[in-house]
Amino acid sequence: MSSEHRIAIIGLGYVGLPLAIEFGKKYDVLGFDINENRISELSRGEDHTKEADQAGLQEATSKRGTGKGLWFSSNTEELRQYNVYIVTVPTPIDQFKAPDLTPLLQASKMLGSVLKKGDILIYESTVYPGCTEEDCVPVLEKVSGLKFNTDFFCGYSPERINPGDKINTLTKIRKVTSGSTPEIADVVDNLYKSIIEAGTHKASSIKVAEASKAIENAQRDVNISFVNELALIFDRIGIDTTDVIEAAGTKWNFLKYKPGLVGGHCIGVDPYYLAHKAQALGYHPQVILSGRRVNDNMGMFVANKVVKLMIKKGHKVDGSRALILGITFKENCPDIRNSRVIDIYQELEQFGVKVEVYDPHADHQQVQHEYNIQLIDEIGNNYDSIILAVAHEEFKEIDFKKLANGHNTVIFDTKSFIDRNLVDARL
């Protein structure tokens, strides 16, 4: 192994770009992505994900030619000049909610073609325990002709990026690290220690590190499913879930989770990876999958509740006009991956409702490609129903009375974000 780390970051999305920027301040770093448009964008100093610290990006790229600095490329041949590869490609689920390892295995195949003796591959993509050594390593060995833990080595350090969060950024979140041998675990840990201000936690094995990532989000998913189920119960009782949580929250050890749509690339996906591994070993997880079922049905509940309220107010549902505010999976960021707002949209459409969607953060082309929805450029008026789906700061300035079609417009707040006196119902 070379004592001089030359690092290539594979995948420049929400995880890879911040990582490339921080490493680029101290090492010779290549930011690699197969998307040539993404490379062109970053080479101009632009970032549509809004995750890049512009000052940090400028600092990292300004060091080029000094033995440090950040470069961008989509040319696979340039990867041969590097000896540490950090893989940050997406690991989604397919239409059957099974892990889709296609991007991860394709990245492994590509890296196998440039792998050299002494190289280290570190995976950050969310996977199930055992995936790195059982799925990725065989691909690397087959393509490279090299032997694992003799010629090349692996590590795993789960990403902990929180899209849209400008406080808990990469360097301020403690990082879990691991390696395929004790010596490599030390190398990987020291590498991350050099950029992570919050420090690191060296796990005892790659599988432990992989499992830690899976349960982080599975735990949060289960907790949210509990309050979502409470919301379904309290709706039937006729009481406000937020009021109940505020009252219960006066006890010191009560955890104040809020109900809502659970989407995104982590919480709405990772539990399926853990469940997949459990089922492969002959165990059917009860709690994890029951929580997923509750959370996956919340969009349908919101849409049906809106329709019931419209009927109660005398609206003709078929042909009515609805406005959905927000399509991203969370507030104040452009990330639309696995947004469950689509569930509300599709359910309302099935009732014959004409639905318009407005989101000042989302990219119109991405939404059209991913969900076949044409976002509106400006909010109209005379809506029969309005659903606040995402709590973007811009929505605080909206005068909902001007958007309504008279006093009978139904307003549903999924985030308890709007003045409660203005809404008919909320989660």
Tokens (6 digits) for 250: 């006066």
CB count within 10 Å of CB 268 equals 24
Bridge partner list, 356? 323
Residue 401: count other Cβ atoms within 10 Å of its Cβ: 10
324-363 burial code (b ≥16 CB/10 A, e <16): bbbbbbbbbbbbbbbbbbbbbbebbeebebebbbbbbbbb
Phi-psi region of 115 (alpha: psi -120 to 50; beta: other; left: phi over 0): beta
Residue (of 171, 270, 154, 179) closest to 217 by Cα position: 270
402-411: list long-range contacts, CB under 8 Å, 24+ apart.
403/323, 403/379, 405/321, 405/381, 408/313, 408/314, 408/315, 408/384, 409/383, 409/384, 409/385, 410/306, 410/309, 410/310, 410/313, 410/315, 410/384, 410/385, 410/386, 411/385, 411/386, 411/387
3-class secondary-structure state, position 84: strand
Give the SS3 label for residue 163.
coil
104 phi/psi in degrees, rounded to 5: -65, -45
Confirm whether 266 is a catalytic residue: yes
Kindly give the residue spans of alpha helices, DSSP state H, lying in 98-136. Answer: 102-112, 131
Structure tokens at 285: 């997880």
CA distance 51 to 59: 15
Spatial distance between the Cα atoms of 283 and 349, rounded to a whole number of angstroms: 38
Catalytic residue of the set 136, 154, 266, 333 = 266
Write the CB contacts of 218 (distance below 8 Å, at least 6 apart in sequence): 270, 271, 274, 288
Euclidean distance between CA atoms 82 and 80, whole angstroms: 5
Residues annotated as catalytic are 266
